[in-house]
Amino acid sequence: MTAEANVGVVGLAAMGASLARNLARHGNKVAVFNRHYSRTEKLINEHGSEGTFYPAKTMEEFVASLTKPRTAIIMVKAGEPTDDMINQLADLMEPGDIIVDAGNAHFPDTIRREKAIAARGMHFVGCGVSGGEEGALLGPSMMPGGSEESWKTLKPIFESIAAKVDGEPCVTHIGENGAGHFVKMVHNGIEYSDMQLISESYDLMRRALGMTPAEIGDVFEEWNKTELDSYLIEITAEVLHQVDHKTGKPLVDVIVDHAGMKGTGTWTVQSALDLAVPVTGIAEAVFARGLSGQTELRAEAQKQAFEGPSGVVPMAEEDKIAFINDIREALYASKIVAYAQGFNEITEAAKVYDWKIDLAAVARIWRGGCIIRAKFLNRISEAFESGDANVSLLFAPYFKDAIETAERSWRRVVSRAISFGIPVPVFASSLEYFDGLRSPRLPAALIQGQRDLFGAHTYQRVDEPGAFHTLWTEEGRPEIQA
Ligand code: NDP
């Protein structure tokens, strides 16, 4: 076989086939390989006319059909299958060739794989891809890591297929080794938080205000014309307007209230714990999905018939309108916190893993193709570009102003939700984070005292440098020791 393809795709299930078609539609010559040839055949039979494909029956044929430096994108099941494909490719490739893993790998795996492949003289690129099957076909947001050198080859290929916003492709080189998969992971964490916040807004309107799903859908449609304009708000309106063909009920009412998850939210929180970065909104969103899945525990709780507020809260029409407005403000403020926390996690990880990540560029490539695409990412990108958000997004004037405008509404929503007995874990934890930041003194001083008393862990003083330990006497009269 002569080498003619400038890029290849390994793994032709939903994601890989869509990506291969997207590549071919944009003028790339695409080698394709799948473990079972039937998927390759299906792709060629159904979509072969969309561009130039080189179907391969074996990995040897696949590699032989690629021009140098060979570029192969793996899109198979995460975990062992990905390692298998990497090893098979690496055994057939040569120094300078590029292996891309575009699946949802955990970034420590990407760091490990990059090290092993780099030791063999080849490039390994972990690339986060967001937007699902449709994004892969029509234009995803892409977050490649790996070496600067590999980026030179990948740039024109990835830019040809990525989503475009204002003519700019939603792809940038994120940073070395695992940086791309790390940023994709945090993207997913923010997505969890955003989805939970929208759901908490829905729940308040549904349960406290007694609105129907269609009425709430109308509200979200209106909100989509404001600063909340985003893909997730748009699809929320669509979901809430959907009627179940079988029962004639709102579809949302016949869907089991157990939210699934595949693990990227959990990874985001685990990494944040390792880095000691509070991503409270994301963590609460993951826990909320966890609670939704504890079906037996929840069924038992129902049997307990606990006392507590429930049901629609009687409210005059104008109060209802004011409360809906409060919810919109609270949603915006909490969403800003979710992004601030997510970007904070990226900043801290970049220090630990020695990545140089351009946060303005990250915000820019999230504007299109991905699930969290939103109008306000323009503002986020500007805030990082100007340096205003270097410490926290919350301190950039535009977002500080937005938070201050929303603050009273935000408190009203959280305090009223608590009094109504409706859980709002992400609204509340986002507000708690904000109040924590605002506090000139935190009770952490007391915790340091406790730690020193029971474990001689020492503490620092406000008026003198150094570590101190108190000899906590039986009489309770401390002596200070430097
Ligand atoms: P799946 O995750 O369902 O995996 C199926 C593909 O993996 C098939 O091509 C299959 O080959 C191949 N495969 C499975 N086991 C092996 C093995 N041991 N050796 C070789 N090949 C194997 O496919 P998807 O298209 O849904 O997802 C692909 C990747 O993309 C995954 O990593 C997933 O996490 C990620 N993904 C990303 C999304 C996003 O929005 N970014 C959304 C969905 C997925 P065969 O046909 O021969 O069985």
Atom number of ligand 1 nearest to Cα 132: 40
Q: What is the mean pLDDT of residues 317-337?
A: 98
Alpha carbon nearest to ligand 1 atom 1, residue: 77
3-state DSSP helix/strand/coil % of the chain, to nearest 5: 55, 10, 30
pLDDT digits (tens, 9 = 90+) for 31-89: 999 999 999 999 999 999 999 999 999 999 999 999 999 999 999 999 999 999 999 99
Q: What lines the ligand 1 site, CB under 6 Å?
A: 11-16, 34-36, 39, 75-78, 81, 84-85, 103-104, 129-132
Q: How far is the CA of 480 from the centre of ligand 1 (A)?
A: 62
Can you say how many angstroms the Cα of residue 383 is from the centroid of all Cα atoms in its chain? 20
Tell me: is residue 34 an annotated ligand-binding position: no
Q: Mean pLDDT of all residues in the chain?
A: 97
pLDDT digits (tens, 9 = 90+) for 141-155: 999 999 999 999 999
As a whole number of angstroms, the distance between CA 237 and CA 224 comes to: 9
What is the domain extent for residue 338? 184-355+366-438
134 domain-assigned: yes
- How many domains does the chain fold into? 3
Task: State phi, psi for 471 to the nearest 5 degrees.
Answer: -85, 95
Question: To test ligand 1's pocket by mutation, which of 39, 76, 129 has the most ligand atoms within 8 angstroms of CB?
Answer: 76
> Does residue 218 share a domain with residue 96?
no
Catalytic residue among 114, 176, 191, 200: 191
pLDDT at 476 over 60: no
Tell me: is residue 344 an annotated ligand-binding position: no
The confidence band for 257, taking pLDDT boundaries of 50, 70 and 90, is very high
- pLDDT score for 475: 63
48 domain-assigned: yes
1 domain-assigned: no
Give me the CATH number covering residue 469.
1.20.5.320
CB 34 within 8 Å of CB 61? no
Share of the chain above pLDDT 70, in %: 98
> Does residue 95 share a domain with residue 155?
yes
pLDDT at 380 over 60: yes
Atom number of ligand 1 nearest to Cα 17: 25
> Does residue 287 share a domain with residue 223?
yes
298 domain-assigned: yes
Q: How far is the CA of 460 from the centre of ligand 1 (A)?
A: 52
- pLDDT score for 474: 62
360 domain-assigned: no
Tell me: is residue 188 an annotated ligand-binding position: yes
As a whole number of angstroms, the distance between CA 478 and CA 201 comes to: 51
Atom number of ligand 1 nearest to Cα 15: 25
- pLDDT score for 473: 76
Q: Give the DSSP H/E element, type plus range, for residue 385.
A: helix 377-385
Q: Give the DSSP H/E element, type plus range, for residue 352.
A: helix 317-353
Alpha carbon nearest to ligand 1 atom 32, residue: 103
> Does residue 451 share a domain with residue 430?
no
Give me the CATH number covering residue 34.
3.40.50.720
361 domain-assigned: no
The confidence band for 200, taking pLDDT boundaries of 50, 70 and 90, is very high
CB 108 within 8 Å of CB 115? no
Q: Which residues of 245-283 are buried (b: 16+ CB within 10 A; e: fewer)?
A: eeeeebbbeeeeeebeeeebbbbbbebbeebebbbbbbb
> Does residue 407 share a domain with residue 472?
no
Question: To test ligand 1's pocket by mutation, which of 35, 77, 84, 129 has the most ligand atoms within 8 angstroms of CB?
Answer: 77
As a whole number of angstroms, the distance between CA 240 and CA 250 comes to: 7
Atom number of ligand 1 nearest to Cα 84: 19
pLDDT at 28 over 70: yes
Predicted TM-score (pTM) of the model is 0.96
Assigned token pair, 11: 């793994």
> Does residue 340 share a domain with residue 234?
yes
Query: Across the chain, how many H-helices and E-strands are there?
Result: 20, 11
Q: How far is the CA of 104 from the centre of ligand 1 (A)?
A: 10
The confidence band for 1, taking pLDDT boundaries of 50, 70 and 90, is confident
10: helix, coil or strand?
strand
pLDDT at 479 over 80: no
Contacts of 345 (CB under 8 A, 6+ apart): 186, 189, 268, 271, 272, 275, 277, 279
Alpha carbon nearest to ligand 1 atom 33, residue: 103
Q: What is the mean pLDDT of residues 107-120?
A: 98
**68 carries an active-site annotation:** no
Q: What is the mean pLDDT of residues 326-345?
A: 98
- pLDDT score for 381: 98
**191 carries an active-site annotation:** yes
152 domain-assigned: yes
Q: What is the mean pLDDT of residues 378-389?
A: 97
Share of the chain above pLDDT 90, in %: 97
Assigned token pair, 278: 């509070």
> Does residue 413 share a domain with residue 336?
yes
- pLDDT score for 405: 98
The confidence band for 263, taking pLDDT boundaries of 50, 70 and 90, is very high
CB 393 within 8 Å of CB 336? yes
